[in-house]
Amino acid sequence: MKKLISFLIMVSIGAAAGQARERHFSYTESRPVIPPRPAIETPEPPEPQGGTVNSNLRIPSIFALVFGDGQSDDVYVQKTSSNTITVHGNLTCTGGTCGAVSIPALSSLSDTTITTPANNDLLTYSTADSKWENKPIGVQPYRFSGFVAGTYTTSQVLFAVPVGSTVTFAANFSGSQAVLQAAATASTVFIINKIISGTPTQIGSITCGISATVCTFTSSSGLTQSLASGNVLEIVAPASADTTAGALGFLLLGTS
């Protein structure tokens, strides 16, 4: 009996070992199979779409609005600084190139008088004809003007002004003017002096005729006269005072 039981136990153990080996073999044969990698498809770019923008289209400054097909001749617009956009390429508008401005010649304007323009000329305004005129840069109008009320005593100094730069008066003080509000009973001559280091030298005169209110100018020897910086321009009443001549107004026109 003991031998029979031992035999049955050995058979059971052998059967169990065989089953274990079967399970191990079954696990090895059922390992997972990895499927092949699927192909990656690149989508086609979308077709251009038409339409209307009904609100603001904002493009950050780091981006550009590009017109083209990805070629070297594409044109793009981009904000490059405050209130500024730059067009990289040529920009044309219907009717011509954008930004083209036709500027007329200065001499063709109705409020200018341009005479023999030269390098470094300045454009100055003249109230005489209400026009802009060209003048050499080295020649600027230099005006002395004044008004002395009342009548004058003998050799009274009516005007004395130092000059800040070299001033030249044309022959006979061309362009200068003088008037009397009260006419003289006799011909009245006012003296124009140039004072250098306190010493006066006559360079011209203003003559107001009998009963005249408009006066004339004369330069010494009919020549141009000049004053240097620091000189004094002086106007002196006649040596024989006229009792009625009065209220002298004058404008001496020179250049500097």
Mean pLDDT for back-to-back runs of 10 residues, the chain (256 residues) = 52 50 50 68 61 74 80 82 80 65 81 88 87 82 94 95 94 96 94 97 97 96 96 96 93 93
Beta strands 216-219; 199-208: pairing state: antiparallel
Strand intervals (E) in 36-176 = 65-67, 75-81, 84-88, 92-93, 96-97, 112-113, 122-126, 131-135, 141-151, 157-162, 167-169
User: Is residue 175 domain-shared with residue 247, that is, in the same domain?
Assistant: yes
> Could you tell me the CATH number of the domain that includes residue 173?
2.60.120
- Same domain (yes/no): 181, 235: yes
* 30 in any annotated domain: no
State whether 243 and 166 are in the same domain. yes
165 within a domain of the structure (yes/no): yes
Verify that 151 and 189 share a domain, yes or no.
yes
The dihedrals phi and psi of 206, each to the nearest 5 degrees, come to -120, 120
Q: Is residue 111 part of a domain?
A: yes
Q: Are residues 165 and 221 in the same domain?
A: yes
Same domain, residue pair 239 and 147: yes
- Classify each residue of 72-92 as buried b or exposed e, where b means 16 or more C-beta atoms within 10 Å of its C-beta: eeeeebbbeeeeeeeeeeeee
The pLDDT assigned to 24 comes to 47
Do 149 and 173 share a domain, yes or no? yes
**27 in a domain, yes or no?**
no
- The distance in angstroms from the start CA to the end CA of the chain is 154
- Do 146 and 250 belong together in one domain? yes
145 and 244 in a single domain? The answer is yes
72 domain-assigned: no
What total of structural domains would you count in the chain? 2
- Find out whether 140 and 236 touch, Cβ atoms under 8 Å: no
> 153-192 as b/e, with b when 16 or more CB fall inside 10 Å?
eeeeebbeeebeeebebbebbebbbbbbeebbeeebbbbb
Residue 201 covered by a domain: yes
Closest CA to 207 of 226, 233, 180: 180
Calculate the average pLDDT of the chain: 82
Residue 58's contacts (CB-CB under 8 Å, 6 or more residues apart) are: none
Range of the domain at 188: 141-255
* Together in a domain, 234 and 128: no
Instruction: Please indicate, yes or no, whether residues 128 and 158 belong to a single structural domain of this protein.
Output: no
Residue 65 lies in a domain: no
pLDDT tens digits, residue range 6-62?
545 554 555 545 554 544 444 455 566 677 776 666 666 556 565 676 777 777 877
Place of tokens 């920009």: 91
Residues 182 and 207 in one domain: yes
In a domain, 71, yes or no: no
DSSP state of 60: -
Is the whole-model pTM more than 0.85? no
